[in-house]
Amino acid sequence: MSFTGADVLIVGQGVAGSVLAWTLHQRGFSVHIVSSPELPSASSVAAGIVNPLTGRKLVKTWEADRLFPYLHRFYTGLANQLNTSFFTPLDVYRPYRDEAERRLYQTIAADPELQPYFQPAINDAAYSAVINNPFGGIQVMQAGWVDLPAFTAAVRDYFIDKQLFTYGQVRSDDLQTRPDSVTYLGKTYRYVIFSEGPHGQANPFFSALPYNVVKGEILTAEVADYPLTNIVNQGIFIMPLSATRIRIGATYSWHELDWKTTDVGRSFLETKARALLRIPFTVVDQRAGIRPSTVDRRPFVGWHQTYPSVGIFGGMGTKGVSLAPYLAHDLADHLALGKEINPAVNISRFHSL
Ligand SMILES: Cc1cc2nc3c(=O)[nH]c(=O)nc-3n(C[C@H](O)[C@H](O)[C@H](O)COP(=O)(O)OP(=O)(O)OC[C@H]3O[C@@H](n4cnc5c(N)ncnc54)[C@H](O)[C@@H]3O)c2cc1C
């Protein structure tokens, strides 16, 4: 059957849906987005940090050598094209907890594979007025943060302007699926791709996929004068928003998986931040969200086994901002050129489920 409708219906406009819609649109696909303003979005809570080396042992992010150069070009280029700004490249300073951690991090930093990610010249003294860093610290490059509410709003406005965006909640019953097309509200698309974030767990098409969602909380605080321009990370992160505002995060909880803030979360973050910071701060905002994490910590990309016109671009977990650009580029190559989806993210790895 020759296909005459629009190419792709994208359901959900968090960071994943936004990046995918923009990428496909740039590649010449005809795209339409439907997203619900009522369902909460992980992207509206997230700090938006991109950091190639994470965790207590500075583990290199999966595919970092590809993801990080690409994402820097992607967000900078998109901001330029939309004549706005939402991406701040910066470093992440990791003050050592003690002498043992200093030795460990120095050993890790000597790995030639990690050289592109470490700042060779670090000015520990520049941090000392604000941060407790008696053992010094190490600094990770190619990091930064995306102001996700600003980013998603800019992408949404662009697609609204082109009449390629509709507010609404898509339910699986609203879709008529055929092997080579999908019809939604009287319009036919070659594909529907779900980017529902953590709400993907409730999607009957993909209910067998093994999510392992994680709740997270985050604080915004005011300070009299914050001189640092890099993120500081020691178990928690402290991210500068302006000369008088910082963001403090984040918690990880596999219990009470709702979107409500808790006193426990706030007190955990405040206590850690007070130990790390040498200056007073006042918390002015607290948010909670659900990260769309997966059991094997790899995203969910690909097509339904029985309905080949129904796809997913989700399961971005704790690193959606880093993962989405390159994975969207790969998915565009798959759609345009028939390139195979990376088996590590392809949901075909779960088809036996
Ligand atoms: C406290 C916290 C801090 C975090 N910090 C970071 C960080 O620093 N860096 C990082 O990379 N990640 C971070 N994350 C993780 C990050 O939030 C996710 O990786 C990312 O936001 C997932 O984006 P998404 O687009 O897949 O999902 P979402 O942002 O949840 O977007 C899904 C969208 O789809 C819509 N939707 C869902 N179902 C439907 C439907 N059926 N019909 C219509 N619309 C629908 C929803 O309304 C929503 O707008 C953090 C998360 C939390 C909770």
Which ligand 1 atom lies nearest to the CA of residue 51? 9
Query: According to the model, what pLDDT value does residue 148 have?
Result: 98
Which ligand 1 atom lies nearest to the CA of residue 200? 38
Ligand 1 geometric centre to CA of 141 (Å): 25
Q: Tokens in use for 121?
A: 């010249």
Q: By alpha-carbon position, which residue is closest to atom 15 of ligand 1?
A: 318
Query: According to the model, what pLDDT value does residue 6 have?
Result: 62
Q: Mean pLDDT across the stretch 181-210?
A: 96
How far is it, in rounded angstroms, from Cα 211 to Cα 348?
15
Query: According to the model, what pLDDT value does residue 4 have?
Result: 41
- Residue 352 confidence class, pLDDT cut points 50, 70, 90: confident
Query: According to the model, what pLDDT value does residue 351 have?
Result: 84
Spell out which residues line ligand 1, taking CB within 6 angstroms. Answer: 11-17, 34-36, 39, 41-43, 45-49, 169-170, 195-199, 216-218, 249-250, 289, 291-292, 314, 316-322
Ligand 1 geometric centre to CA of 155 (Å): 15
How far is it, in rounded angstroms, from Cα 159 to Cα 20?
12
Token look-up 């997966």 returns 294
Q: Mean pLDDT across the stretch 230-258?
A: 96
Q: How high is the mean pLDDT of the chain?
A: 96
Query: According to the model, what pLDDT value does residue 48 have?
Result: 98
Q: Mean pLDDT across the stretch 271-293?
A: 98
Going by C-alpha positions, the residue among 18, 110, 78, 91 that lies closest to residue 52 is: 91
Query: According to the model, what pLDDT value does residue 1 have?
Result: 35
Residues 6+ apart with CB under 8 A from 294: 209, 210, 211, 212, 300, 315, 317
Note the helical H segments in the chain.
Answer: 15-26, 64-81, 99-109, 124-128, 148-161, 263-276, 320-337
- Residue 2 confidence class, pLDDT cut points 50, 70, 90: very low
The CATH code that applies to domain 6-45+149-209+296-350 is 3.50.50.60
Query: According to the model, what pLDDT value does residue 43 have?
Result: 98
Please check the confidence at residue 57 and state whether its pLDDT lies above 60.
Answer: yes
Query: According to the model, what pLDDT value does residue 166 have?
Result: 97
- Residue 3 confidence class, pLDDT cut points 50, 70, 90: very low
Question: Is residue 118 within 8 Å of residue 109, measured between CB atoms?
Answer: yes
How far is it, in rounded angstroms, from Cα 330 to Cα 338?
10
Q: Mean pLDDT across the stretch 302-309?
A: 96
Question: Is residue 37 within 8 Å of residue 167, measured between CB atoms?
Answer: yes
Q: From 3.30.9.10, 3.40.50.1820, 1.10.230.10, 1.10.287.110, which CATH number describes the 89-144+212-291 domain?
A: 3.30.9.10
pTM of the entire predicted model: 0.97
Domain boundaries, the chain: 6-45+149-209+296-350, 89-144+212-291
How far is it, in rounded angstroms, from Cα 175 to Cα 182?
6
**pLDDT tens-digit readout, 23-34:** 999 999 999 999
Ligand 1 geometric centre to CA of 115 (Å): 31
Please check the confidence at residue 209 and state whether its pLDDT lies above 60.
Answer: yes
Cis upstream peptide for 153 (omega within 30°): no
How far is it, in rounded angstroms, from Cα 72 to Cα 325?
9
Ligand 1 geometric centre to CA of 46 (Å): 8
How far is it, in rounded angstroms, from Cα 239 to Cα 140?
14
**Can you say whether residue 179 is alpha, beta or left, with left for phi > 0 and alpha for psi between -120 and 50 degrees?**
alpha
How far is it, in rounded angstroms, from Cα 109 to Cα 96?
13
Across 185-325, the runs of DSSP E, i.e. the strands, are: 187-194, 214-222, 231-234, 236-242, 245-249, 282-291, 300-303, 310-314
How far are the Cα atoms of 309, 310, 312 from residue 179, in angstroms, in the given order?
6, 9, 16
Q: By alpha-carbon position, which residue is closest to atom 42 of ligand 1?
A: 169
Q: How many CB atoms lie within 10 A of CB 3?
A: 11
Q: How many CB atoms lie within 10 A of CB 84?
A: 16
Residue from 10, 39, 214 whose mutation best tests the ligand 1 pocket (most atoms within 8 A of CB): 39
Ligand 1 geometric centre to CA of 51 (Å): 17
Q: Tokens in use for 350?
A: 């779960």
| DSSP one-letter string for 94-109 | EE-SSHHHHHHHHHHH
**pLDDT tens-digit readout, 241-250:** 999 999 999 9
Going by C-alpha positions, the residue among 107, 60, 54, 10 that lies closest to residue 236 is: 54
Percent of the chain, pLDDT > 90?
96
